[in-house]
Amino acid sequence: MLILTRKTEQAIVIDGQTIVRVLSIEGERVKLGIDAPKSITVLREELVREIAGANREAAGVRDPAAIDSVRRLGKTPDPDDVAPSPQA
């Protein structure tokens, strides 16, 4: 990992095209300006972690009753197929 120090208004250049500049520092908050080509996706890390967590959870559980509930979505209901009442 590359570790370096920057002051306000200083920047780093990644791969000749992406510029990350320190705009301001207030206490624990650092405001960054990111100038990247349109083809580069810039995301907050916690968001990527949240999506990864949601993906792992989704791949890890396939409950047969849940699958059945989704299968019935958008299908014409069978009159004999009465959904159970929710328990109080």
Partner 1 sequence: MRMTTMRAGYPELVEVDDDQLFEFYPGLSGFEDQNRYALMDDDGSMLQWLQAVGAPSVCFGVVDPWGFLSDYAFELPDADADALGVKGSNDVIVRVILTLRSPMAAITANLMAPLVINPTTRLGRQVVLQDSDFPARYAIFEGRDTGDLGNGGEQRHARAA
Is 85 a residue that touches partner 1 (CB under 8 A)? yes
CB of 88 to partner 1, least distance (A): 13
Of 5 and 41, which CB lies nearer to partner 1 in the complex structure? 41
27 touches partner 1 (CB under 8 A): no
CB 18 within 8 A of CB 34: yes
Q: Phi, psi at residue 50, to the nearest 5°?
A: -65, -45
Residue 46 Cβ vs partner 1, minimum distance, rounded to whole Å: 11
In whole angstroms, give the CA distance from residue 74 to residue 65: 17
